[in-house]
Amino acid sequence: MWLTDGQKIGVALTSFGALFMMLGVVLFFDGALLALGNVLFLSGLTLIIGPTKTFYFFARKQKMRGTACFIGGILLVFLKWPFVGMIVETFGFLNLFGDFFPVILTFLRQLPFIGNLLSLPYIREVSQPQGLYRARLT
C-alpha cells in the first residue's frame, strides 16, 4: 500500500506531535510543548485517515469515555494545567487506542533487532498477552 502525499505529511506531523509531547513530559510538563504536540498529533491523525473517518473514530459510542478524557486532557493542557491534563489525556489515549497495541506489538516482533529484544524471557512474559501465551504452551 502506498501513501499519498497528504498521508506522508500526516505521518510526519503525528511523529513530531509524539516527539513534542515526549519532550514536554521530559522537560517537567512544559505546557507549550505539550499543547504543540497535541495539535500536531491531532492534525497528523486527521491527514492520515481523513477528516470524516477521524470524526467517526472519536464519535463512536463505545469510545465516548476515551474521547471525553482525551479532549478534556487537551483542554486542561491549553488551560495551563499540564500535569493533570496529561494524566487525563493518557487515560483517554489508552481507552481510544488500546485496541491497536497488540497489532503494534506483533509488528515490532517482526523487526530484526526489536523482535529479538522482545523475545527475551522476562520481556516476553510482560509483553505477551496471557491468553496467547497459554495457548502456545498447550
Distances from the Cα of 51 to the Cαs of 35, 47, 56, 67, 123, in angstroms?
Answer: 20, 7, 9, 16, 38
Instruction: Quote the percentage of the chain above a pLDDT of 90.
Output: 67
Distances from the Cα of 59 to the Cαs of 54, 67, 71, 94, in angstroms?
Answer: 8, 7, 12, 16
Residue 130, pLDDT score:
60
Q: Considering the entire predicted model, what is its pTM?
A: 0.80
User: What's the pLDDT tens digit per position in 23-69?
Assistant: 999 999 999 999 999 999 999 999 999 999 999 999 999 999 999 99
Residue 1, pLDDT score:
65
Joined grid coordinates for residue 64: 465516548
Q: Phi/psi of residue 84, each to 5°? A: -65, -40
What are the counts of helices (DSSP H) followed by strands (DSSP E) for the chain? 9, 0
Domain ranges of the chain: 1-59
User: What's the pLDDT tens digit per position in 85-110?
Assistant: 999 999 999 999 888 888 888 888 88
